[in-house]
Amino acid sequence: MKHTLLISSFVALTLSTTAFAQESSSETAPTETPQEAPTTSEAPQVPAIAPTPAQEWPRSLWGVYGGFGAPHVLNGGVEYLDQSRIWSVALDFGAFGYRPKDELNDKEEVALGSVAIEGRYHPFTSSFYIAGALGSQGVTAKKTAVYSGETATAEIRVGNTFATPKVGWFWQFNSGLNFGVEVGAQIPLSTKVEVDDSNLNAIVLNDPEYIKNKKDVTDLAEKLGKQVLPHAVIRLGYAF
């Protein structure tokens, strides 16, 4: 009986030892983790974009235009618009005139006229442009009144050449109509002043009122002919 109990205890001890050894080996055995396949990350290839050529008009255009502005209240001219849309040239005319409503007691008159050649350059083939004009201008100012019982006119004429640097924006529509605005400065280059009173007698020439009026019209004419004047124009035209 004792032998049987000893044998049974030995067998149970052996089985438990074997099971413990198997659990320990399964816990300490290194586990292999699946390795991911190597991947190569490359930046997406962006196709090169060739520069787009400037959009051109189907053909070069000729046009006429008119507008309002300063110092010439009325503006107009003819122009040539190149097919490339990069440049254009124009022959520009300007005019301004003033007469008071009361011409019976105090007759005054101011007249201004100009002609200029201008070129425009569109650096981005867009509506924006830079430009320059070279022209000639004539200014006439006169005042008629009664001096020492005699009617006489104090008249001054100023002629000058000028340059006008400016910038602007120009939009040409498919219908042929176009619209534009520009600003700059009219800079006199040379000036000539003429006083027309050779046909007046000495009594009128020495009259204090005549001397005063003559100075007034001279100052006005020289202001328009000798000083730098602001340039601003709003224009509407048609090209074909």
Better-predicted residue by pLDDT, 117 or 16: 117
CA 190 – CA 111 distance, rounded (Å): 19
Q: Which candidate, 228, 239, 127, places its Cα nearest to that of 184?
A: 228
For residue 29, how many other CB atoms are within 10 A of its CB? 8
DSSP structure class, residue 38: P
| Over residues 3-27, mean pLDDT | 46
Residues near 70 by beta carbon (within 8 Å), at least 6 away in sequence? 229, 230, 231, 232, 233
Q: Is 50 exceeded by the pLDDT of residue 236?
A: yes
Please give the class, per CATH, of domain 61-239: mainly beta
Question: pLDDT above 90 covers what percent of the chain?
Answer: 42
Tokens of residue 122, six digits = 């569109």
Tokens of 83: 């097919």
pLDDT tens digits, 122-157: 998 889 999 999 999 998 888 888 887 888 888 888
Residue type, 77: G
In degrees, rounded to 5, the angle at the alpha carbon of residue 110 between the alpha carbons of residues 101 and 97 is: 75
User: Which pLDDT tens digit goes with each residue over 40-60?
Assistant: 455 455 444 333 344 677 899
**pTM tops 0.75, yes or no:** no
Tokens (6 digits) for 32 = 């292999």
Instruction: Provide the token pair at 141.
Output: 């100012």
Closest CA to 77 of 23, 50, 114, 107: 114
pLDDT at 103 (0 to 100): 53
- Confidence at 211, pLDDT banded by 50, 70, 90: confident
For the chain, percent of residues with pLDDT exceeding 70 = 74
Distance, CA of 35 to CA of 12 (rounded, Å): 43
Q: Where are the domains of the chain?
A: 61-239
pLDDT tens by residue, 169-183: 999 999 999 999 999
Pinpoint the alpha helices (H) of the chain. Answer: 2-28, 202-205, 208-226
Q: What is the mean pLDDT of the chain?
A: 80
By the 10 Å C-beta count (0-12 exposed, 13-18 middle, 19+ buried), 213 is classed as: buried
- Using DSSP, state whether 217 is helix, strand or coil: helix
Q: What is the pLDDT of residues 69-126, one digit of tens each?
A: 999 999 999 999 999 999 999 999 999 887 766 555 556 788 889 999 999 999 988 8
